[in-house]
Amino acid sequence: MAATRNNSSNPARIPALGFRALALIVLAIALMVLDHRDKHLDSVRDTIGIALYPLQLVVDGPARFRDWAGERLRSRFSLQEENEQLRREQQVVRARLLTSNALQAENARLREMLDARVKVKDEVRVAEIMAVDANPFRHSLVLDVGKGDGAYEGQAIVDQVGVVGQVIEVGLMTSEALLISDPGHALPVEVNRNGLRTIAYGTGEFGRLELPGLANNADIREGDLLVTSGLGGAFPAGYPVAIVSSVNRLPQQAFADVSAKPVAALDQVREIMLVWSAPGESADAESTPAAAAESEHE
C-alpha cells in the first residue's frame, strides 16, 4: 500500500536506505584499510584539515585571549618581581653557559682525537600548543606549526626541562603530537649515570613511564636521570626524559619493575620546542638523523 504512494508524500519510506548505508560502510572500511596500510590519503586529510582550521582557531580563541589578557592585566609589582627573578635566572644561566661553551669545545676536541663523528648542534624552534583536544583516547597535542614551517613526522618535541613527545601527523597549518606518556609511545633512553640503555614506555598517566625491559640485577636506582639515547633515530641524544621514581625487584621474576617520572610537565605545557636534529633534516623527512649527520660530516 505504501509502495503505491508517491515517495515524497510518505515520510516513512527513505529510498534505498539500506543499500546506501551498506555502500557507505564498505567505503568506510576501504578507506580505513587504505589509511592503515600506507599514507595515500594524506591529501584528503590536508584538504579537510584546512577547512577545520578556522574552527580550531575559534576553539583556541578563549585560551589565547586569556593568555593575552593575563599578560596585559598584570600588576606592576608582579612584573617587577618577575623581572627580578628572570634577571637572577639569566645570571645563573649565563654563568653556566660560560662553562658549557668551554665544555663543548673540549668535547669537540676530544671527539676529534677519537675520530668520532661530531655531534651536530640541534636547531630548535618554539611552537605553541593550541587549546584543541584532538584525540580523546590518546595523549596528544595540536601544535600551531605545519608543513610550511618544516615540521615533519617523527620530529622530537621538548620543553625547557625535557622531552615532551614527537610529531605524529603534519597538516598544512597544524600538526598533531604524541606525548611520551601515551600508552602507544616508546622512547629509547639511557641512564645518565652509567649509560645503561633501555626503552621507556608511556602508561597513559602523565606522571609515570614504565621501563619493563630491565633485568633484575640491572644497575638502576631511584633518582637516576634518564636521557634520550638517540638510538632509534627519531630523537636526538642527550635530552633529559624522566627521573626513576621506583625500582621494585621481585626475586621470582626476571625483570625489575621500574617506573620513572617525566621531567617535563606534560599536562601543563603551553609552549614547546621542535627540534631539528640536523640541518637539512626538515627538508628531507625520510632520512634518519644518523644519515643526515653522516652527509653533514662528509
Partner 1 sequence: MSRDRASRHLPVVVTILIALALMMVPLPRGVDVFRPDWVAVLMIFWAFSLPRSYSVGVAFLLGIVIDVAQGTLLGQHALALVAVVYLTVKFHLLMRVFPLLQLMATVFALLALYQFLLFWVNGISNVSAPSVTYWGPVVSGTLLWPILFSFLNGLRYRVQSRV
Residues that bind partner 1 (CB under 8 A): 11-12, 14, 17-18, 20-21, 24-25, 27-32, 34-36, 41, 44-45, 48-49, 51-52, 55-56, 58-59, 63, 131-138, 140, 168-169, 176, 183-184, 204, 267
State the minimum distance, in angstroms, from the CB of residue 163 to partner 1. Answer: 20
Buried b / exposed e over 102-117, threshold 16 CB at 10 Å, is eeeeeeeeeeeeeeee
State the minimum distance, in angstroms, from the CB of residue 50 to partner 1. Answer: 10
Alpha helices in the chain (DSSP H): 17-37, 42-72, 76-114, 289-297
> What is residue 38's three-state secondary structure?
coil
State the minimum distance, in angstroms, from the CB of residue 189 to partner 1. Answer: 21
> Closest by alpha carbon to 157, among 131, 190, 181?
181
State the minimum distance, in angstroms, from the CB of residue 171 to partner 1. Answer: 9
Q: Which amino acid is at 204?
A: G
Q: Which lies closer to partner 1 via its Cβ, residue 132 or residue 220?
A: 132
> CA torsion angle for 14, 19, 21, 26 (degrees, to 10)?
-170
Nine cell digits for residue 150: 618544516
State the minimum distance, in angstroms, from the CB of residue 67 to partner 1. Answer: 13
CB atoms within 10 A of CB 242: 26
Q: Which lies closer to partner 1 via its Cβ, residue 35 or residue 123?
A: 35
Q: Which lies closer to partner 1 via its Cβ, residue 140 or residue 259?
A: 140
* Strand ranges, E, within 147-256: 156-158, 163-170, 175-179, 186-191, 197-202, 209-211, 225-228, 240-248
State the minimum distance, in angstroms, from the CB of residue 268 to partner 1. Answer: 11
Q: Which lies closer to partner 1 via its Cβ, residue 183 or residue 279?
A: 183
Q: Which lies closer to partner 1 via its Cβ, residue 169 or residue 224?
A: 169
Q: Which lies closer to partner 1 via its Cβ, residue 28 or residue 116?
A: 28
CA distance 159 to 177: 13
